[in-house]
Amino acid sequence: MFADMMTACLDSTIEVLERQYKKYFELDITEVLRAKTKSAKSHNIDSEEMMGMFSALKAKAPSATFCYISCKMRAVKNKTVEYLDAIQKELMEEITGRLVDREQDKDQKRRNIIEKTLKKTKIDQDSLEKAFPDLSEAHVETLVALITGKCVGQYICHIWHEDRLQVPYNGLLEKVFGKGATKKYVVSYWPFNQTMDRSEDSEYDMGVFALGADYILKDLTI
């Protein structure tokens, strides 16, 4: 099978080369031929023709082996292997970072939509079950308690997005203040792998609807 494919590839290469160089082969004056080819590097022309043959063969009968050989030949011809090796880590980090940014943007849009839905929905078991049918009964009960300010004293795990990373923090819902849409919890946060230390904990005022949206998106557990 391999021999047949290589034979077909070489035959096609010869055919194309003969067609491309036909006018040169028919020239009788050596100086004319030399003048016409002086600025062209024949090895580059030949390699481009070979690449064309590989491309045609891959399009006709895709093969992992031929794709590998073709890519390797292209890399050597264009002297790009060293360049790709040098930028690979930096490039992959940038691509990964952009994907993370895109996903975080999508998450934020979903979070905003959920938060708006919560603000428009009556905060009781039946209403929230209708608004968020994918949530279990137990989750809706917790959501109602969270939004109505009845989770004071509860420990939480809250995932924050920092520098393109998802960073978990432990937290304690210290107290609640405000009414309606302005109701907020005072939350003490500390690193996930550490114990609570009042002298080093950071306190934030977190809106109940923002926490509710994170709870629905599973970025917050109680």
Res 7 pLDDT > 80: no
Size (the chain), residues: 222
- Examine the domain organization and report whether 67 and 129 are in the same domain: no
Rounded to an integer, the average pLDDT of 177-184 is 89
pLDDT at 75: 62
In a domain, 52, yes or no: yes
Q: How far is CA 115 from CA 110, 121, 145, 175, in A?
A: 9, 10, 16, 21
In a domain, 183, yes or no: yes
In a domain, 94, yes or no: no
User: Which of 45-59, 77-91, 178-192, 198-212 has the least mean pLDDT?
Assistant: 77-91
pLDDT at 104: 84
In a domain, 100, yes or no: no
CB 154 within 8 A of CB 222: yes
- Examine the domain organization and report whether 187 and 134 are in the same domain: yes
CB 208 within 8 A of CB 185: yes
The identity of residue 101, as a single letter, is D
151 vs 185: CA distance, rounded Å: 9
In a domain, 208, yes or no: yes
Under the banding of pLDDT at 50, 70 and 90, the label for residue 31 is: low
CB 49 within 8 A of CB 16: yes
Among 11, 46, 79, residue at a domain's last position: 79
- Examine the domain organization and report whether 127 and 190 are in the same domain: yes
Res 193 pLDDT > 90: no
- Examine the domain organization and report whether 61 and 128 are in the same domain: no
- Examine the domain organization and report whether 152 and 75 are in the same domain: no
Q: Total domain count for the chain?
A: 2
Among 79, 109, 144, residue at a domain's last position: 79
Among 24, 47, 79, residue at a domain's last position: 79
- Examine the domain organization and report whether 144 and 207 are in the same domain: yes
Kindly report, residue by residue over 107-137, the tens digit of the pLDDT.
889 999 999 999 999 999 999 999 999 999 9
The DSSP secondary-structure symbol of 181 reads: G
**Secondary element (H or E) of residue 172:** strand 165-177
The DSSP secondary-structure symbol of 182 reads: G
- Examine the domain organization and report whether 138 and 215 are in the same domain: yes
What torsion, rounded to 10 degrees, do the Cα atoms 104, 108, 114, 118 define? Answer: 130
Q: Higher-confidence residue: 73 or 184?
A: 184
In a domain, 63, yes or no: yes
Q: Is 0.75 surpassed by the pTM of this model? A: no
User: Which of 27-36, 58-67, 113-122, 144-153 has the least mean pLDDT?
Assistant: 27-36
Rounded to an integer, the average pLDDT of 65-76 is 66
pLDDT at 171: 92
Backbone angles phi, psi at 140, to 5 degrees: -65, -40
Under the banding of pLDDT at 50, 70 and 90, the label for residue 100 is: confident
pLDDT at 109: 92
pLDDT at 1: 62
Q: Tokens 């011809």: give the residue.
A: 77
In a domain, 102, yes or no: no
- Examine the domain organization and report whether 43 and 129 are in the same domain: no
Q: Could you list the residue range(s) of the whole structural domain that residue 166 is in?
A: 123-221
Q: In terms of Cα–Cα distance, which of 74, 56, 45, 75 is closest to 9? A: 56
Q: Chain-wide mean pLDDT for the chain?
A: 79
In a domain, 158, yes or no: yes
